[in-house]
Amino acid sequence: MRIVIALGGNALLQRGEKPDAAVQRRHVRRAAQSLALLAADHQLIICHGNGPQVGLLAQESETDPALSLPYPLDVLGAQTQGMIGYWLVQELHNAGMPAVAVLTQTVVDADDPALAAPTKFIGPSYDEQPARTLADQRGWQIRRDGDRWRRIVASPQPRGLVEIETVRALADGGRVVVCGGGGGVPVVETADGQLVGVDAVVDKDLTAAMLALRLGAQRLLVLTDVPAVMRNYGTLAATPIHTIDVDTLAGMRFPAGSMAPKIEACIRFARASGHAAAIGALGDAAAVLAGTAGTTVVPVLVNAQHGGEMTTPAGESALHELKIEVEAELAMAESSHPEDAASVPVAEWLFDQADAEREVIGLRSLLGAVEALEAGSGPGDRSTAAAAKQ
């Protein structure tokens, strides 16, 4: 089976760790050992992230007195492809899995609106005040990432890979290929066919999904530093999702710039290919592929108790599922911390404070209505769920 693997940059340098080469090399070695278990029976194409690494290089470039201007992100992204690609290829070889790394350029649209609306996290995390100080000093945009703050940069959509036929030829020849590092170096194509770099970072999960579709992969694995996608993320009621269909998953909300691109990549691949995708921890790679760990995303959720057909839940179950969806949306809305906006200049807002507050109020009201319907509904009363959602 041909498998495209999106390997998270945070899995190679975990939160709070010093970005020393020896630390990252140790994680790469463990990653290679996990991937070697898959390579024995499957053909692998590996895309790696670079968020922590490209952020580190950007910091060094910005503070280098020898430079007139910092290096742009496309150049720094190419540097991370060389560094991480070298580590991966060498450690894969040492694990008995010879591989080749291809420096790759990802074509993006020059007028992509994402270029003016940064969402992608790069670099280390900070407490809020140091993050705001750095943002003022260096002209960064920042956003909360969990309980810390990080820099965000533009992340345009991948439209193509310049070296796609090289990657295809290597994969068809049976080679393990490392490519699309950091999502690929973002470039635009001019009217006369010239390629020009873009000061941005492409999301490696979306690039991996595009690669998986164009190379005819049968599975997309997104391996990161979390064990599974969580329902009710950020609340005490958080629970792992083991299997979910694309339509249900698409109706849920996840943090932009971190989990959301992983979700979107799996949805795109599963819908377009008809094959499953999965998200899970790097150390559980074999189990994630087998479906015994992580979250498996399927095109359609099949109910074995009903002859393998897709079934529609009865009213009581439908209301319960709706309640779970609303709770998840409410948790996400509340996690945006609209009250923080009051102390931030309007030009730096990443959301509209009034809109965020209205959304929270509306979701709380909807949750109350669903709970009331759930308490009074009986079997077969499916119309109540539909009425609540409208």
Q: Tell me which residues are annotated as active site.
A: 9-10, 120, 204, 262
For residue 17, the one-letter residue type is E
* ∠ Cα 176 180 186 (to 5°): 160
Dihedral sign computed on CA atoms, order 264, 267, 271, 273: positive
Q: What is the 8-class DSSP label of residue 376?
A: H
Query: Angle 118-122-123 (CA atoms, 0-180°, nearest 5)?
Result: 145
Q: Going by DSSP bridges, is the β-strand pair 141-145/148-153 parallel, antiparallel, or unpaired?
A: antiparallel
Residue by residue, DSSP assigns 121-157 as: EEEEEE-HHHHHHHHHHHT-EEEEETTEEEEEE--PP
Helix 21-39 with 73-94: angle, nearest 10 deg: 60
Q: Rg of the Cα trace of the chain?
A: 22
Structure token pair of residue 205: 């999960």
- d(C-alpha 179, C-alpha 163), whole Å: 9
Classify the C-alpha dihedral 213-214-217-218 as positive or negative. positive
- Distance, CA of 66 to chain centre: 35
CA–CA separation, 354 vs 135, rounded Å? Answer: 24
276-306 burial code (b ≥16 CB/10 A, e <16): bbbbbbbbbbeebbeeebbbbbbbeeeeeee
Residues 122/151, Cβ–Cβ less than 8 Å: yes
How far apart CA 327 and CA 235 sit, in angstroms, is 9
Tokens of 70: 């910092």
